[in-house]
Amino acid sequence: MTDAETGRRTRADFQADDEVRWCPGCGDYAVLASVQTFLADVGLDPARVVFVSGIGCSSRFPYYMNTYGFHGIHGRAPALASGIALADPDLSVWVVTGDGDALSIGGNHLIHSLRRNLNIKILLFNNRIYGLTKGQYSPTSEVGKRTKSSPAGSIGPPFNPVSLALGAEATFVARTVDTDRTHTIEMLRRAHQHRGTAFIEIYQRCNVFNDQAFVALTGKEERLENRINLRHGKPVLFGRHDAKGVVLHAGGAHIVDVAEVGLAALHVHDEHAPDPSAAFALSRLSAGPEGPTPVGVFRDVARPLYEDELQRQMRDAQRRPGPANLSELIRQTGTWTVS
């Protein structure tokens, strides 16, 4: 409930009455708590927030939010969210999807939502497995992954969701980890502030079918060596005592020993760079979280909103002199007679 003394919203304002039903230990619980806390912190009105989902474990999300929600069909959440954002641009519209929902059947909808730059926020929960259907390999599963649908090991190389989003010219692209609530809330805040489509990949634990998939970034010792925290305007450093760094040359990003190359040689991260090449190179440091992996904001740039351009076209049409003539419009070009 809203705090009686301060009048500020609390997490409880965004908690639905429905029982939250994910497997015990699932990373979705942590993400749900982060989202609800973030929404309360920024003071959004639950009646002006919409969560849209497709199919998968993550897609139960709208039921657990005390906001408006829409549970769509497989892969179509970005299309539904686009329609909602166009119908009421004042709403805060969020898509919750998974690696299977977004990158398999929903891949086409995802990339076109990113390139159009509507004011929607897309949270992709990546557990690198199909959890709801009990453990088949997904579009982000590593090569050789043995599952019920790939008993000899998966063959195709996995998608890198951040690289995919950057390639689709998304204006805001970030990555976080479910168990790091402070970082996740910061990425949510940044996405909310961004005017346009914001894409956040969230590494999310599936302890039943893909446990320890992200231990390189979550293990107490492992994360010290593997987590690369991207900070705007700062050299890309990581490892114990910041002994490792990243340089860009020959069209790619490479890990080096700082003692060997010097601090001045390191790449300085610029999340506002108009050209996404450097951000893309950083995203290619790792296909998945098996080794040194960047987290944080890869890109945050301004571009006209799809909604604004559509409204401009409609205003221009209304200013044209004379009444509209539908028959003339239909027959003005490209018509022919079939005998």
| Overall size of the chain counted in residues | 339
Residue 192: partners with Cβ closer than 8 Å, 6 or more residues away: 38, 42, 92, 121, 198
Task: Name the strands in the sheet holding 244-249, side by side, starting at the edge strand that comes first in the sequence.
Answer: 237-238, 244-249, 252-257
Q: Which amino acid is at 32?
A: L
The two structure tokens encoding residue 114: 């990113």
pLDDT of residue 144: 84
pLDDT of residue 77: 97
Give the pLDDT band (50/70/90) at residue 285. Answer: very high
pLDDT of residue 4: 56
Q: pLDDT tens digits for 196-212?
A: 999 999 999 999 999 99
Give the integer Cα–Cα distance in Å for 157 and 288. 11
The two structure tokens encoding residue 218: 């979550």
DSSP state letters, 190-217: HHHHSSS-EEEEEE--BTTTBTTTTHHH
pLDDT of residue 51: 98
Is 123 within 8 Å of 77 (Cβ atoms)? no
Mean pLDDT throughout 36-60? 96
In degrees and rounded to multiples of 5, residue 114 shows phi and psi of: -65, -45
Mean pLDDT throughout 159-184? 97
pLDDT of residue 87: 94
Query: Is the pLDDT score of 194 beyond 90?
Result: yes
Q: pLDDT tens digits for 178-191?
A: 999 999 999 999 99
Rg (CA), the chain: 22
Q: Which domains does the chain have, with CATH numbers?
A: 1-213+304-339 (3.40.50.970), 224-298 (no CATH)
3-state secondary structure of 222: helix
pLDDT of residue 65: 97
The two structure tokens encoding residue 88: 């009421």
pLDDT of residue 309: 93
Q: Which amino acid is at 304?
A: P
Percent of the chain with pLDDT over 70: 98
Query: Is the pLDDT score of 251 beyond 90?
Result: no
Alpha-carbon distances of 139 from 46, 86, 105, 149, rounded to whole Å: 33, 30, 10, 12
The two structure tokens encoding residue 59: 């897609």
**Residue 56 Ramachandran class (φ > 0 left, ψ -120 to 50 alpha, else beta):** left
Q: pLDDT tens digits for 99-136?
A: 999 999 999 999 999 999 999 999 999 999 999 888 89
Q: pLDDT tens digits for 70-97?
A: 999 999 999 999 999 999 999 999 999 9
The two structure tokens encoding residue 26: 């699932």
Which 8-state DSSP code applies to residue 324? -
Which 8-state DSSP code applies to residue 301? -
Higher model confidence: residue 4 or residue 338? 338
Residue 48: partners with Cβ closer than 8 Å, 6 or more residues away: 90, 91, 92
Q: pLDDT tens digits for 215-238?
A: 999 999 999 999 999 999 999 999
Is 199 within 8 Å of 95 (Cβ atoms)? no
pLDDT of residue 335: 65
Give the integer Cα–Cα distance in Å for 200 and 117. 14
Measured in whole angstroms, the distance separating CA 138 from the mean position of its chain's CA atoms is 17
The two structure tokens encoding residue 71: 């549970």
pLDDT of residue 303: 96
Question: What does the H/E/C string look like for 116-166?
Answer: HCCCEEEEEEECCCECCCCCECCCCCCCCCCECCECCCCCCCCCCHHHHHH
Give the pLDDT band (50/70/90) at residue 290. Answer: confident
Query: Is the pLDDT score of 261 beyond 60?
Result: yes
